[in-house]
Every structure is written in structure tokens, then in C-alpha cells.
């Protein structure tokens, strides 16, 4: 994860594009540390998070690492979940604007670090889902909280099937707030970073 600040904006870039920016435990800890520091920093007025590359904002937690580590370090894996959930709760209750630039795949843990924010922006290629249901896991990272508030029973559908939401679906279901066309997406990000 790349963490910086400029013009009053704390900037987080999930920087594992070959792994679709999947969250490692270190990434979660680095984000927690930065966001806690920015929370009390009067020079920071906004936090912006994005994923590196064109394919994904974040495809979730690094399940391969969780699996491999879980075979030898059960307590360490459980600490990963605790820290990830703490980060999601911090995002949900953050006292400053938290802007998530949600492009490409946003899955599982990617939903956790975006859909709990105050300003959630999707674009033409945004695909949001909770695919952990496919491995017999309940939607986590606060996904059940968000799904329970989706209209027309859609939370049940997405929670049981792991189905994919488009940008329009995500806004309708309460996982995103704003749509920006793909050709204007980077310009919006640059305007936010300009302060």
C-alpha cells in the first residue's frame, strides 16, 4: 500500500495490481495506522483511496495467504480478521470525508474498505460482489450490514448468490453513492487530490 498526503488529502493506493490489489495483513495495518493519524491531524481534511492498475480497486482479502498462514498460524489469521474488521469500523465511523474510487473489481474485503466510506464513487467497469459465499462463508467485512439495508430483497439475493452488481446496482443497493463516467474518473480523482 502506498500512503501519502498532499493538499490536505490523505491518499491511499492499494498497490498490488497483479493480485488485483488483494489486502494483506500488512496493508490493513498500514491503513489503520495512517487513518488513525489523519483522524487527529488538522492539516488533513479528506481521505481518498484507490486501487492501482485498471482491473481492480480491491478483489478482497488475500485468501491464498490466509489459507497458507492458517495451516501454521491460526492466531495470526484470526488477528488479520480482527484488524480488518477494526479498519472497516473506523471507515464507517470516520469523522472526515472518506472517498473511495471504486473501479474494476470490488469484492469481499474491497467492499469493506470502500462501501463503508462516506463518498463511494463507481464507474462503467465497476463490479461489486461478496464472492465469499461461494466458499461457504457469510458475507463479511460488514457486508451483511450493507446487504440487510438493500431494497426489494436484493440483499438476500446478493448475500446468498455472491452475484455481481454493476455501478447502477451498487448505487440502488446502497453500496455506492455516485456514478462518474470512466473517461472522467481520473480527472475527478486529480481534482480531489488538488485539494
User: Could you give the residue numbers annotated as active site?
Assistant: 61, 109, 132, 140
- Please tell me the distance from the alpha carbon of residue 46 to that of residue 193, in angstroms, as a whole number: 9
- Please tell me the distance from the alpha carbon of residue 72 to that of residue 5, in angstroms, as a whole number: 37
Helix spans in 131-166 (H): 143-147, 154-161
Output phi, psi for 12, to 5 deg: -115, 125
Rounded CA Rg of the chain: 16
The neighbour count for residue 104, using CB atoms within 10 Å, is 21
- Please tell me the distance from the alpha carbon of residue 38 to that of residue 31, in angstroms, as a whole number: 10
Q: What SS3 class is residue 139?
A: coil
- Please tell me the distance from the alpha carbon of residue 133 to that of residue 137, in angstroms, as a whole number: 5
Amino acid at each position: 500500500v502506498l500512503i501519502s498526503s498532499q493538499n490536505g488529502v490523505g491518499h491511499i493506493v492499494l498497490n498490488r495490481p497483479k493480485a488485483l490489489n488483494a489486502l494483506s495483513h500488512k496493508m490493513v495495518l498500514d491503513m489503520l495506522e495512517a487513518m488513525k493519524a489523519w483522524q487527529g491531524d488538522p492539516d488533513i481534511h479528506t481521505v481518498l483511496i484507490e486501487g492501482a492498475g485498471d482491473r481492480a480497486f480491491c478483489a478482497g482479502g488475500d485468501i491464498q495467504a490466509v489459507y497458507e498462514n492458517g495451516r501454521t498460524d491460526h492466531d495470526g489469521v484470526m488477528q488479520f480478521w480482527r484488524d480488518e474488521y477494526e479498519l472497516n469500523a473506523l471507515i464507517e465511523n470516520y469523522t472526515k470525508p472518506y472517498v473511495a474510487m471504486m473501479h474494476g473489481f470490488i469484492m469481499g474485503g474491497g467492499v469493506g474498505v470502500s462501501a463503508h466510506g462516506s463518498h463511494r464513487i463507481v464507474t462503467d467497469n465497476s463490479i461489486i460482489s461478496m464472492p465469499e459465499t461461494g466458499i461457504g462463508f457469510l458475507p463479511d467485512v460488514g457486508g451483511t450490514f450493507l446487504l440487510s439495508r438493500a431494497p426489494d430483497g436484493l440483499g438476500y439475493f446478493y448475500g446468498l448468490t455472491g452475484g455481481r452488481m454493476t455501478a447502477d446496482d451498487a448505487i440502488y443497493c446502497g453500496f455506492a453513492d455516485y456514478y462518474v463516467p470512466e473517461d472522467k474518473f481520473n480527472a475527478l480523482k486529480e481534482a480531489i487530490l488538488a485539494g
